[in-house]
Amino acid sequence: MTRASLFLAALLLSGSALPAYAGDASAQLPSGDFAVTNATVAIGDGSAPIPGGTVLVRGGKIVAAGKSVSVPAGVPVIDGTGKWVTPGLVTAMTDLGLLGVGAVDESNDSYANTARFSAGLDVSLAIDPDAPPVAVSRASGITRAGVAPAAANAIFAGQGAVIDLAENGPGISQPRAFQLVELGERGADLAGGSRVAAQALLRNALREARDLAQRKPVKAGDDAPGQPVDALLTRVDAAALIPVVTGKQPLFVHVERAADIRGVLALGKEFPALRLVLVGAGEGWRVAREIAAAKVPVLASALADLPGSFETLAATQSNVGRMTAAGVKVALGGFYDLDQPRYAPQFAGNLVGLSRVSGASGLSWGQALASITSIPAEILGEGAVFGSLKPGLSGDVVIWDGDPLEVSSAPVTIYVDGKLQPLVNHQSRLRQRYRHAGEGTLPKAYE
């Protein structure tokens, strides 16, 4: 492959595939105050879609959504006949803004292989709102995301952030929103080759943070506050875990097999203030009742249905449906690499289809939409800010040309905080450039 073709491939892989509609014909539509009428409205709270509904936004906030919504005089009205309206999609556990081209190390800030710190790493300092995948995801209906680092040299990956995907917006809406730790097979490898070592490291780290929070003396007879003399964490990492042990910051734990999930749930006995969130939970259905009883939410992979490792031998596509049926709060998460954020509605739609398969467990349409809107927003601690079309929440509104959980549908208009967003992005420009390329427009390598 020539250098020119490698460069073009890198450009095409820097985001996701093109949305069905990538024009910007909606550029003249109003922002801030508007109403969408005669549309199929999906609130995003688990309820069924409402045909012939209306969504009213004033001052960038949702005022009302559903049937019998009155539109005040002077508010611009968008005719939504034949369209669907949903809240902006929310994806948790992504690397949006942390990389431009994943295969190019210089543009990739999602992990730190040789860093001296782990829990103290703060990804909000590296997020680039102009990274090409951000605009591509926005054009696919994603308006908010939880950005998480990847564990590289320790079981603690660092502190994730919540971002909005608005063009020229504030970008980072909540820095240091959660802490991520790797257990299971990956955590065992990082800790020295054993799950025993990973569990020991985790508990020791939490104890060091708790001791530092209580300002215990360095040693007997020394009244200077600090860490114990045998501390394994740097002071920066220990200080970063103080919000975790005090319950001010959630601890996201990547774990897959049922036995490891039980071990994570047991952490609550020694550290009762922990706000645990399970990530992955490929065998979560086997211990769904225990997860539900502990009131621990889950960010699960929708289509992880193959025994790709020893810790996912019991993986099944019915995992999300079974956990939901057991009372677990489950959102779809883990949108990295090939599972890009733009696939969220497709994955949710697959779970709807699964509910129609004999012997399988899927989700209803309303539950599936909630798994990529309101539930991930709640898990990220932002359920009172965005994630649904309930009154008072941010005016994140997406108008679709059809059922958003069908792969044939795409956004035609997107608002974040009531502000109209462009659908044009790096991918759409490349498509337009090469769709009907004339002589002399292609790079020389393609002559």
Spell out the domain ranges in the chain: 3-86+413-446, 89-387
Q: Are 137 and 342 in contact (CB under 8 A)?
A: yes
What's the CA gap between 415 and 228, in Å, rounded? 51
Element spanning 134, H or E: helix 132-139
Taking alpha carbons only, the member of 69, 60, 70 closest to residue 34 is 60
What's the CA gap between 144 and 163, in Å, rounded? 6
Over its length of 447 residues, how does the chain's per-residue pLDDT go in tens digits? Answer: 343 343 334 434 333 333 333 333 344 445 689 999 999 999 999 999 999 999 999 999 999 999 999 999 999 999 999 999 999 999 999 999 988 777 777 777 777 877 889 999 999 999 999 888 999 999 999 999 999 999 988 999 999 999 999 998 778 999 999 999 999 999 999 999 999 999 999 999 999 999 999 875 545 545 445 555 556 888 999 999 999 999 999 999 999 999 999 999 999 999 999 999 999 999 999 999 999 999 999 999 888 888 889 999 999 999 999 999 999 999 999 888 667 999 999 999 999 999 999 999 999 999 999 999 999 999 999 999 999 999 999 999 999 999 999 999 999 999 999 999 999 988 888 888 778 777 666 666 655
Please report, as a single letter, which amino acid is at residue 153: N
Which residues lie below 8 Å from residue 108, measured CB to CB, with a gap of 6+?
98, 99, 100, 101, 102
Can you give the pLDDT at residue 112? 81
Can you give the pLDDT at residue 230? 57
CA 351 to centroid of chain Cα atoms? 18
Q: Give the long-range contacts of residues 104-107, CB within 8 A, separation 24 or more.
A: 104/10, 107/131
Task: Write the CATH number of the domain with boundaries 3-86+413-446.
Answer: 2.30.40
CB atoms within 10 A of CB 393: 21
Its pTM stands at 0.87
Beta strands in 59-195 (DSSP E): 61-66, 77-79, 84-87, 89-94, 142-147, 156-164, 172-182
What's the CA gap between 304 and 281, in Å, rounded? 10
Count CA atoms closer than 13 A to 435's CA, side-chain side: 7
Q: What homologous superfamily is domain 89-387 in, according to CATH?
A: Metal-dependent hydrolases (3.20.20.140)
Can you give the pLDDT at residue 189? 94
